[in-house]
Structure 1
Amino acid sequence: MSTLDSIDAIIFSLSRAFCSPFAVFVQIQGCTICLLLALGWLMAAYVRNREVKRIKNSMKAGNSLAFLYQDINELEHSKQLKLPRISVVMPLKGFGEHNLHNWRSQITSLYGGPLEFLFVVESTEDPAYHAVSRLLSMYQDHVEAKVVVAGLSTTCSQKIHNQLIGVEKMHKDTKYVLFLDDDVRLHPGTIGALTTEMEKNPEIFIQTGYPLDLPSGTLGSYCIYEYHMPCSMGFATGGRTFFLWGGCMMMHADDFRQDRYGVASGLRDGGYSDDMTLAALAGAHKRLITSPPVAVFPHPLASDLSFGRYWNYLRKQTFVLESYISKVNWIMNKALFAVHCYLSWGFVAPYLMAVVHITSALRIYIKGYHQLEDTTFASSGMLLVIMLAICTFIELLSMWNLTRREVTLCNMLSPEAPRLSLATYNWGLVFVAMLVDNFLYPISAFRSHFSQSINWSGIRYHLKNGKIFKIERRKDMGPAKTDLGGKHLYGKKGAPQKASFLSSLGRNLAHWRQPKKFDV
């Protein structure tokens, strides 16, 4: 038998093995996962589309400002005067191509009540410090905003440290504090919509939202998009949810002033992930987390987002499951760890089997092996392949539909911004990203479990019993850019030199005034 025939024999044996009852179960399980994802995205699309219809109907009824308020009477001056004071706290790290757009969308909010912005940086050497200071100087007569230097964290992650320092510096009359990541691009009415819900229901502990990733064209950016999409269905509930995204969290300011439920101490004492810690506290104390249907934010990914930076991001996402604040929280995280890993490889396995089935069928057809005693495995294998292809198509169609609804909603919520479009989405790359991301997730999760340390923007955090106990800082141990936004973490020799910084800022200001297709 020739070498080629030997290879064929191996392929046929594998194809036959993949038609065994257990292998068929694995392939049917993969199809079921596809259909469950499709169902989840269909339900999420229904919630987003319901909000689109509400805005359209309100506009037809004469409320041209429906993207700001459902009831146009809420815009009356007497009612605007009664709005509570909001403090927006934004921990910053680095400076990249989309930051000016994001910061501008935040400080130009159309919220009618008292509003202050606290941009919190680690030190004045952070490139973000100079960039945001220059931006705020342009709006100093129109916006209540300041830059706060937090210093280095010693007991928690730098992001959490910056958030807590921001809370300490907020106005004494602040009723609600809104934590935003610096890559969040707000709609004009976002702060007003979140505040309205908090006022309607004082039982709300945290309000949150979720980003709509806008891939830049690289495989890494599509992997990020695919990673976030299954999570997005947990935020498209139009109300109560058990999920929390640290990029957008509105909370009662007094919860921090009085350290209710241990929100401040729980974050400060070894906290690594702000959203996972607060979600655990909400669950432990049976507090309400909600996600309004308008809380979806365009999130353009860096144009040079490489696969390596995607991997770094995935590592940080899986690492959060290693942090916990209680035994119950530890059990929940480990259960999530196990389920996610099982489903990820359960999703990928049928596609690997499908490759074998297709190769086997092609070899039988090309080499004329029809005379073999048993080729029924080939037809059985192709039947499984066809079933998987149909389920995959349904899944991708549902993902496309949800993305389309969210793009439409974002366009309606920011009518003054350049239109978002699905035209540049490459759905072939989306499919590849689905396989790559689900294959790599368990590998990343297991690596996080056994390493118990992570490098986050040049800072290495070490965990012990679910909390940070050691922090290492060395500029030579981390990347020069952040993962998603491609933000420069350091200037030359640790701080941005004036010439290079002004040049970079000038380019970004030009980019700001003439945004790209995805910039809003």
Structure 2
Amino acid sequence: MPLKGFGEHNLHNWKSQITSLYGGPIEFLFVVESTEDPAYHAVSQLITEFKGDVDARVIVAGLSTTCSQKIHNQLVGVENMHKDSKYVLFLDDDVRFHPGSIGVLTTEMEKNPEIFIQTGYPLDLPSGTLGSYCIYEYHMPCSMGFATGGKTFFLWGGCMMMHADDFRHDNYGLVSGLRDGGYSDDMTLAAIAGAHKRLITSPPVAVFPHPIASDLTFSRYWNYLRKQTFVLESYISTVNWLMNRALFLTHFYLSWGFVAPYFMAMVHVAAALQIYIKGYSYGETTCTSGGLLLAIWLAICTFTELLSMWNLTRIEVQLCNILSPEAPKLSLDYYNWSMIFVAMLVDNFLYPISAFWSHFSQTINWSGIRYNL
């Protein structure tokens, strides 16, 4: 687990990760940049608390010079794993695991040795701020992996299980691709999987609660969004560059294509109100009536989309409650659907702006570290 800083949910998340019901041999490696990181002392205390019950230790990776700090921490963790380890599981520090998750992921890897990466998806638990709802809305497309029968091209860096030997032998240029200039772990690995036609899967129970910090300000959300678009500027091959450019253009078109009808609908509604107030006849309002009809269809489509998101979230909440029966029950009460609608507009409006900013600036500050391309 690559760590950076210490937030309000980290301790709970770490406990859920190390208190696994997996019956086989397992070790937990927490990797920090330095002993000055607040996470170092917090996780060291946690390991002391569970001493004798779990095989866990903290590793100090040092400062990265060739790739992102997260990737550097991951690779140092791999270098220090047990020589007999068969699989390696990368987890973010904001992932809340279920007791049987490691066993499920391992079983799937054993059943199908052709699996290159096994991933999961987050169930965001908004804290009430607009930024937290924007992150929830941004992550929702990841759940499309549940509709693909286990096979997916969506890869979430918060949970990735892989074969340890792929790292030991640098298969497919895995280690070198990450180490030499890698910025995003999941985008880089997805590109390698695509280039070598390797299989990415997700079991149907690999959905994990992802509580969002209550102090998440809008500026922190903007920095998060900048990070998501900044990854499109990094690549390991020409094919990867072309994929990123295609994703950049597609996301740009779809995002503002989603927002534009709402601005148009506002114009039509405002015009209709103006016409009504001034008392124009029906014959003079034909165009406006047509615009209002489109606005009504837009409202119906919006309701359908929100209903679909509500239903998917409901299913994921129920699934998480079943998978973690002893944990506090999750509820749909976490979600304010009016805020989610606003977040949909804000997120899709800002994404192209963030993407352009990342493209022309070629730099970002993430977790106190300045990255330049």
TM > 0.5 = yes
**In 1, are the aligned partners of 2:137 and 2:343 still within 8 Å (CA)?**
yes
Which one of the candidate residues 398, 407, 413 is aligned to 2:317? 407
Alpha-carbon separation, structure 2, partners of 1:236 and 1:184:
22
Please say if 1:125 is aligned against 2:59. Answer: no
**In 2, are the aligned partners of 1:205 and 1:288 still within 8 Å (CA)?**
yes
Please say if 1:352 is aligned against 2:246. Answer: no
Match of 1:440 in 2: 350
Kindly provide the amino acid, as one letter, of the partner of residue 301 in structure 2: C
Unaligned runs of 5+ in 1: 1-89, 464-520
Match of 1:185 in 2: 96
Alpha-carbon separation, structure 2, partners of 1:97 and 1:423:
20
Alpha-carbon separation, structure 2, partners of 1:367 and 1:407:
50
Q: What do residues 35-75 of structure 1 show as CA deviations (whole Å, max 9, x unaligned)?
A: xxxxxxxxxxxxxxxxxxxxxxxxxxxxxxxxxxxxxxxxx
Please say if 1:147 is aligned against 2:55. Answer: no
Match of 1:321 in 2: 232
Alpha-carbon separation, structure 2, partners of 1:285 and 1:324:
15
Kindly provide the amino acid, as one letter, of the partner of residue 397 in structure 1: L
Which one of the candidate residues 247, 271, 274 is aligned to 1:336? 247
Unaligned runs of 5+ in 2: none
1:107 CA drift (Å)? 0.5
Which one of the candidate residues 327, 344, 352 is aligned to 1:417? 327
Q: What do residues 302-340 of structure 1 show as CA deviations (whole Å, max 9, x unaligned)?
A: 111111111000000011111111111111110010001
1:368 CA drift (Å)? 1.7
Alpha-carbon separation, structure 2, partners of 1:298 and 1:238:
21
| Greater relative contact order (CA < 8 Å, ≥ 6 in sequence) | 1
Please say if 1:267 is aligned against 2:178. Answer: yes
Match of 1:242 in 2: 153
CA RMSD in angstroms comes to: 1.0
Alpha-carbon separation, structure 1, partners of 2:160 and 2:142:
16
Alpha-carbon separation, structure 1, partners of 2:338 and 2:156:
28
Larger radius of gyration: 1
Count of residue correspondences: 373
Which one of the candidate residues 25, 38, 46 is aligned to 1:135? 46
Match of 1:382 in 2: 292
Which one of the candidate residues 111, 114, 129 is aligned to 1:200? 111
Q: What do residues 108-132 of structure 1 show as CA deviations (whole Å, max 9, x unaligned)?
A: 0100000100000000000000000
The SS at the match of 1:91 is coil
Alpha-carbon separation, structure 2, partners of 1:237 and 1:140:
41
Alpha-carbon separation, structure 1, partners of 2:348 and 2:264:
16
The SS at the match of 1:228 is helix
The SS at the match of 2:192 is helix
Alpha-carbon separation, structure 2, partners of 1:123 and 1:235:
38
Alpha-carbon separation, structure 2, partners of 1:124 and 1:236:
43
Q: What do residues 364-416 of structure 1 show as CA deviations (whole Å, max 9, x unaligned)?
A: 11222338x62211211110111101111111000000000000000000001
TM-score of the two chains, using structure 2 as the length reference: 0.98
**In 2, are the aligned partners of 1:236 and 1:293 still within 8 Å (CA)?**
no
Match of 1:85 in 2: none
Please say if 1:428 is aligned against 2:347. Answer: no
Alpha-carbon separation, structure 2, partners of 1:428 and 1:435:
11
Match of 1:157 in 2: 68
Kindly provide the amino acid, as one letter, of the partner of residue 109 in structure 1: S
1:451 CA drift (Å)? 0.9
Q: Once superposed, which parts of structure 1, at least 4 consecutive aligned residues long, lie more than 4 Å away?
A: none
The SS at the match of 1:423 is helix
Which one of the candidate residues 190, 202, 205 is aligned to 1:294? 205
Alpha-carbon separation, structure 1, partners of 2:108 and 2:354:
37
**In 2, are the aligned partners of 1:220 and 1:305 still within 8 Å (CA)?**
yes
Alpha-carbon separation, structure 2, partners of 1:333 and 1:180:
24
Kindly provide the amino acid, as one letter, of the partner of residue 338 in structure 1: L
Alpha-carbon separation, structure 2, partners of 1:100 and 1:256:
29
**In 1, are the aligned partners of 2:125 and 2:334 still within 8 Å (CA)?**
no
1:236 CA drift (Å)? 4.8
TM-score of the two chains, using structure 1 as the length reference: 0.71
1:239 CA drift (Å)? 1.2
**In 2, are the aligned partners of 1:236 and 1:291 still within 8 Å (CA)?**
no
Alpha-carbon separation, structure 1, partners of 2:322 and 2:72:
35
**In 1, are the aligned partners of 2:118 and 2:200 still within 8 Å (CA)?**
yes
Kindly provide the amino acid, as one letter, of the partner of residue 385 in structure 1: A
Identical aligned pairs, as a percentage? 83
Structure 1 segment 490-509 matched on structure 2, within 5 A: none
Alpha-carbon separation, structure 2, partners of 1:237 and 1:139:
39
